[in-house]
């Protein structure tokens, strides 16, 4: 306890010292029309728009990159680099007239060749496994100042996928990893690994100009250091805070805004590794976990229970009947473990990225709950980059507490991840019926039929206990009282352009 107290004191002292340095003071930042945004992880993967994997990277880089269309706070898709979208009656031809006068951050004016290059490059190198299926049978051509896309089959989600293909200058894909250039309201300035990433307002932006001139994202992978920095006034805006973190913050200095993260937090189980390849073991884990207790102990009751890989704001696809499919029962958990051949339980690890406090806190409670059911669980906290490399990419784990968001505002974005052939299927879930339902839903044009197919697929995830679902985490943002304009989106995004003094 003494060591923790000393560490916290030093963190506060260091932050206060930094704040005493000229332009880093709160008053100077207001005078200079700049803000500091606190983030809990470095942008550890590539800044190339087609190579980004982490939600934390995407939520920041959407200030730099734009597609032909983009997502509005309402969840609707609105024109961006394109000024309109004309869809043929059969739903197979999309025509995008390009907006005139759009400039890249390097001063180059956008042309149809840049769009053609971007779609070709994205098709060739994207790490988003949902996109190649959209590119299959897709032709992208130019007609004057129009981009014409022809699909082999109608797809009601096509605009959502178009919004994921960010437009970059022709021939620029190699430089994009370290010197990103887009058409968004902010341009990239510099990056210091594990320290910060700096952006400036783009004066030639085609749309509504941003208000704040400079944004510095400071990285605090230690949760205590982040809270200390907020208390010291070193940060103007930070998202993804927990109720416990804001409890000690000064309400005279900050406003606290609350929504949900649109995130599926779960104890993700490695279905390809024993004993988690047995559905009875996975179901036992679901019965052993008390979600209500997790919410009470880690978030003072904040957050929304799930039951599957769809979060509640997807009201169309969210099935409330799945939320309590596994009511807490230690007895039922032990019964299933015995049936599976583990009457005395077994040992397992629960890996969590240490920089995400909500996942660490949930993991701590889960470990104790599993032990009550006879499962000897050990919590393993790892650095974010190690989690990405070993757990997400290497699939070397028993279980992990983390959260997945929707890259697009579609049910497919949340559910296609668990198709057996998906590169995102880190848990190794495999069910032919599930694959068939997702395939049918993707091709279905009747909205009611498609909705039911997705709901049926979500039920399979729950019945097979692919994962032990926890919650859509409460999203709490602290913002300097001198600032306003923070906007929540139905997916991971921190929009700098709406914030102003």
Instruction: State the pLDDT at residue 44.
Output: 67
Q: Establish how many alpha carbons lie within 13 A of residue 81's alpha carbon, considering only the half-sphere containing its beta carbon.
A: 30
pLDDT > 50? residue 12: no
Which residues partner with 197 through β-bridges? Answer: 191, 217
Q: Which residue has the higher pLDDT, 183 or 314?
A: 183
pLDDT tens digit sequence for 111-139: 999 999 999 999 999 988 778 878 988 99
Domains defined along the chain, listed by start: 2-48+184-260+475-498 (3.40.190.10), 65-177 (3.90.76.10), 263-472 (3.10.105.10)
Average pLDDT over residues 459-466: 97
pLDDT tens digit sequence for 244-276: 888 878 888 999 999 988 889 999 999 999 999
- Per DSSP bridges, beta strands 34-39 and 237-241 are parallel
- What does the alpha-carbon distance between residue 282 and residue 275 come to, in Å, rounded to a whole number? 8
Other C-beta atoms closer than 10 Å to the C-beta of 383 total: 15
* pLDDT, averaged across the chain: 91
Least confident of 53-62, 361-370, 404-413: 404-413
Which residues partner with 266 through β-bridges? Answer: 402, 469
- What does the alpha-carbon distance between residue 320 and residue 213 come to, in Å, rounded to a whole number? 44
Task: Check: CB of residue 434 under 8 Å from CB of residue 457.
Answer: yes
pTM, full prediction? 0.74
Q: Which residue has the higher pLDDT, 222 or 15?
A: 222
pLDDT > 70? residue 494: yes
Residue % of the chain over a pLDDT of 70: 94
Q: Which residue has the higher pLDDT, 6 or 315?
A: 315
- Dihedral, 420, 75, 69, 203 alpha carbons, nearest 10: -130
Burial of 235: CB neighbours in 10 Å, binned 0-12, 13-18, 19+: buried
């Amino acid at each position: 306890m003494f060591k923790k107290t000393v560490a916290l004191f030093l963190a506060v002292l260091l932050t206060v010292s930094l704040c005493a340095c000229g332009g880093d003071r709160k008053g100077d930042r207001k005078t200079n029309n700049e803000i500091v945004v606190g983030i809990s992880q470095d942008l550890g993967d590539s800044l190339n728009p087609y190579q980004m994997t982490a939600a934390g990277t995407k939520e920041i880089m959407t200030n730099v990159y734009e597609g032909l269309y983009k997502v509005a706070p309402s969840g609707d898709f609105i024109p961006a680099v394109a000024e309109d979208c004309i869809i043929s009656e059969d739903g197979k031809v999309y025509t995008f007239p390009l907006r005139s006068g759009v400039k890249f951050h390097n001063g180059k004016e956008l042309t149809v060749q840049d769009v053609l290059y971007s779609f070709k490059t994205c098709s060739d190198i994207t790490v988003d496994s949902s996109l190649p299926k959209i590119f299959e049978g897709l032709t992208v051509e130019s007609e004057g100042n129009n981009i014409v896309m022809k699909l082999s089959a109608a797809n009601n989600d096509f605009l959502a996928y178009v919004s994921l293909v960010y437009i970059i200058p022709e021939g620029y894909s190699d430089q994009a990893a370290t010197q990103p250039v887009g058409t968004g309201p902010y341009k990239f300035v510099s990056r210091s690994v594990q320290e910060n990433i700096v952006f400036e307002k783009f004066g030639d932006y085609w749309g509504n100009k941003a208000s704040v001139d400079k944004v510095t994202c400071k990285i605090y992978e230690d949760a205590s250091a982040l809270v200390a920095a907020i208390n010291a006034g070193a940060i103007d805006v930070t998202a993804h805070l927990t109720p416990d973190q804001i409890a000690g913050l000064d309400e005279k200095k900050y406003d606290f805004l609350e929504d949900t993260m649109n995130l599926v937090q779960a104890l993700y189980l490695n279905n390809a590794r024993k004993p988690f390849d047995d559905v009875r073991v996975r179901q036992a884990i679901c019965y052993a976990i008390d979600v209500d207790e997790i919410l009470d102990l880690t978030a003072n009751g904040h957050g929304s229970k799930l039951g599957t890989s769809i979060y509640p704001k997807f009201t169309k696809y969210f099935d409330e009947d799945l939320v309590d499919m596994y009511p807490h029962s230690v007895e039922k958990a032990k019964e299933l473990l015995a049936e599976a051949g583990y009457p005395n339980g077994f040992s397992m690890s629960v890996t969590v990225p240490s920089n995400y406090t909500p996942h660490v806190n949930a993991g701590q409670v889960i470990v104790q709950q599993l032990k009550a059911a006879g499962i000897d669980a050990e919590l393993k906290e790892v650095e974010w980059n190690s989690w990405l490399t070993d757990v997400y990419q290497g699939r070397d784990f028993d279980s992990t507490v983390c959260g997945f968001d929707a890259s697009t505002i579609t049910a497919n974005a949340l559910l296609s991840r668990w198709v057996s052939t998906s590169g995102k299927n880190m848990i190794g879930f495999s069910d032919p019926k599930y694959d068939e339902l997702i395939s049918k839903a993707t091709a279905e044009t009747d909205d009611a039929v498609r909705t039911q197919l997705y709901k049926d697929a979500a039920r399979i995830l729950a019945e097979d206990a692919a994962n032990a679902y926890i919650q859509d985490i409460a999203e709490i943002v602290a913002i300097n009282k001198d600032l306003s304009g923070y906007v929540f989106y139905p997916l991971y995004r921190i929009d700098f352009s709406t914030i102003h003094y």
